[in-house]
Amino acid sequence: MIMEYNKIRVRFAPSPTGHLHIGGARTALFNYLLAKKYNGVFVLRIEDTDELRSSAESMNSIFESLKWLGLDWDEGAMADGREKGDFGPYIQSKREAMGIYKKYVDYLLEKGYAYYCYCTVEELEEMRKKAQLEKRPPRYDGRCRNLSKEKIEQYKKEGRKPVIRFKMPDDGITKWNDLIHGELKFENRLLYDFIMIKASGYPTYNFACVIDDYLMGISHVIRGDDHISNTPLQINLYKAFGWKLPEFAHLSMILGPDGLRLSKRHGATSIGEYKRLGYLPQTLKNYLALLGWSTPDSQQIFEEGELEKKFDLSGCQKNPAVFDTTKLTWMNGEYIRKLSKEKLYELALPYLKEADINLQKAKVNPQDIVAIEQEKYKLLSDVPKLVDFFFKDDIDYDADSVEKVFRKPEVRDILIGLKDLYSNMDGFSEALIEEKTRAFSKEKGYKTSQVFHPLRVSVSGRACGPTLFRMMEYLGKEAVIKRINKSIELINKLF
RNA sequence: GCCCUCAUCGUCUAGAGGCCUAGGACGCUGCCCUUUCAAGGCAGAAAUCAGGGGUUCGAAUCCCCUUGAGGGCGCCA
């Protein structure tokens, strides 16, 4: 059914009242992927009709996160303040200022599809309370639908600022065929006269969204499940104008591990936070795609560009998905392993700097040092703590490792022997160190593990680390001998 | 309270009437590899398909009810 459209036009329409969070990013991603899949257009529209909570900082933060995720938009507002596309402006406050919405409000007013409502917020609050008590739905009761001329004059004299409401049909059914849920229907008598224009003159979401989706030629409205109940309201607006409906697709919600809607108390929620924690954009993109969507063979990892080819609304799930950080983190490890060592180093750099690691201290290219533990990083932020000992003059010895490895009686002699061995070596390459060390073990009658373990702790300060002989090569002969000396002193002191 | 939605391993999911003694992935357990930790390979535990009724020769798949969960009922979006 999607192919009926000449050109798919989808949009992501965030309100700039905070950072881009997981749910928003997933919605943006699905819109983006559908556009790519069908060679359509992905529009970014800013819905800043909440005058109190919208901010330019939030808008820029959203731009930044979207770009970081690689969700480039074809049309819409841009970070530099300009716009691209022929359907602009793409920021609703700008559209309002141009009087775009007013035209449509006037039409509705004139045709009797809309009316002024002079109720105050207090009156509305009271209305809701009363309805609750009487076990009726707490909705606006339509009392201003047919105000007398006198009443209107009176309200005006009182200085009341009216809102404009949409006159919802009293009966009938509003239904649509949701691309994910199938047929969805609502009884019109259960709908209510929603506000289109606030007392401030600003449009509300339900109004501006419809006008703009229409004017921007949006063919598919893909958004969260939480908008299902807004949809019949909006459809009635389309009908009042006599406009063709777009297709609707409502994505399931993303929940926290406790089954509740994802929120701050579940930890990181914004894309920016995940970036800071050391997740890769590829990871988020891949993982988010799998929240509510899958291929028939449950493919997990996607190559670059593959999601754009394989994604489709038909693979979308109706039920909500729990956001699982464990799987996200596993996937990040997968993507870190795919990185070239140059790229890995580049991405790890901010974390190394933050950990105050002095890169000048390295005896070899720091790129090689970072790469030596590549298969172990789950997060970019893991990098400093796994390789820090390469960049220090003086290392600390991990107490548990010392206790477990250094306490053995033969360790002192082994280390002394190794120190002499290395001091007399010409060259200090991985292969050479290994050859000499193995020969040493054999000659002295030790099992290799008896030698390798203490050596590892001696040169790195801990029992777990990179492959031993390459680590030693990167450390350099001088540092290795110095550290062996230090650990011998430590053993003399402790045992 | 009213309206709406949803329901397969702990989690993400495959499944569109017989291929299901329910498949994959994360996580978990064990083994192999191995100088450690990882990575990798192999094996395994893990879902009476929410429960109950139908329909059908046959149901995870279709229908109904119940239950549970989520969403909405704003001059927020």
Q: Nearest-5° angle of CA A69, CA A74, CA A80?
A: 75
| pLDDT over 70 percentage in chain A | 99
Query: Is the per-residue pLDDT at A485 higher than 90?
Result: yes
Per-residue model confidence as pLDDT tens digits over A338-382: 999 999 999 999 999 999 999 999 999 999 999 999 999 999 999
Per-residue model confidence as pLDDT tens digits over A148-207: 999 999 999 999 999 999 999 999 999 999 999 999 999 999 999 999 999 999 999 999
A96 is near strand B: CB distance < 7 Å? no
Across-strand partners of A77?
A83
- For residue A138, the model assigns a pLDDT of 86
Q: Is A338 a catalytic residue?
A: no
Query: Is the per-residue pLDDT at A130 higher than 50?
Result: yes
- For residue A1, the model assigns a pLDDT of 39
Instruction: Indicate the pLDDT class of residue A2, thresholds 50, 70 and 90.
Output: very low
- For residue A266, the model assigns a pLDDT of 85
Q: Please determine, for the modelled complex, whether the ipTM score is greater than 0.85.
A: yes
Q: Which residue is nearest to the C1' sugar atom of B8, using CA?
A: A319
Q: Are A91 and A48 in contact (CB under 8 A)?
A: yes
Q: How far is the CA of A56 from the C1' of B54 (A)?
A: 58
Burial class (CB in 10 A: 0-12, 13-18, 19+), A295: middle
A227 is near strand B: CB distance < 7 Å? yes
Per-residue model confidence as pLDDT tens digits over A253-303: 999 988 888 888 888 889 999 999 999 999 999 999 999 999 999 999 999
Instruction: Indicate the pLDDT class of residue A495, thresholds 50, 70 and 90.
Output: confident
Q: How far apart are CA A446 and CA A415, in angstroms?
A: 12
The strand pair at A220-224 and A195-197 is best described as unpaired
A270 is near strand B: CB distance < 7 Å? no
Q: How far is the CA of A21 from the C1' of B25 (A)?
A: 25
Q: Are A380 and A367 in contact (CB under 8 A)?
A: no
**Nearest-nucleotide field for A195 (CA, C1'):** B75
Q: Quick one: tokens of A427? A: 């060259």
Nearest of A251, A213, A248, A214 to residue A232 by alpha carbon? A248
The SS3 call for residue A71 is coil
**Nearest-nucleotide field for A401 (CA, C1'):** B36
Question: How many other CB atoms are found less than 10 A from the CB of residue A334?
Answer: 15
Q: How far apart are CA A306 and CA A313, in angstroms?
A: 15
**Count helices and strands in chain A by DSSP H and E runs:** 21, 13
Across-strand partners of A176?
A184
**Residue A360 C-alpha from the chain's centroid:** 35
- The secondary element (H helix, E strand) that includes residue A168 is none
Q: What is the mean pLDDT of chain A?
A: 94
A186 is near strand B: CB distance < 7 Å? yes
Q: Are A119 and A155 in contact (CB under 8 A)?
A: no
Place of tokens 């022997």: A417
pTM confidence score? 0.94
Instruction: Indicate the pLDDT class of residue A129, thresholds 50, 70 and 90.
Output: confident
- For residue A5, the model assigns a pLDDT of 55
A15 is near strand B: CB distance < 7 Å? yes
Per-residue model confidence as pLDDT tens digits over A371-411: 999 999 999 999 999 999 999 999 999 999 999 999 999 99
Q: How far apart are CA A272 and CA A254, in angstroms?
A: 18
Q: How far is the CA of A378 from the C1' of B30 (A)?
A: 24
Question: How many other CB atoms are found less than 10 A from the CB of residue A191?
Answer: 20
Q: Quick one: tokens of A111? A: 């045709």
**Nearest-nucleotide field for A318 (CA, C1'):** B6
Per-residue model confidence as pLDDT tens digits over A317-331: 999 999 999 999 999
- For residue A3, the model assigns a pLDDT of 44
Q: Are A133 and A140 in contact (CB under 8 A)?
A: no
Mean pLDDT of A84-110: 96
Q: Quick one: tokens of A44? A: 């970014």
Q: How far apart are CA A440 and CA A262, in angstroms?
A: 58
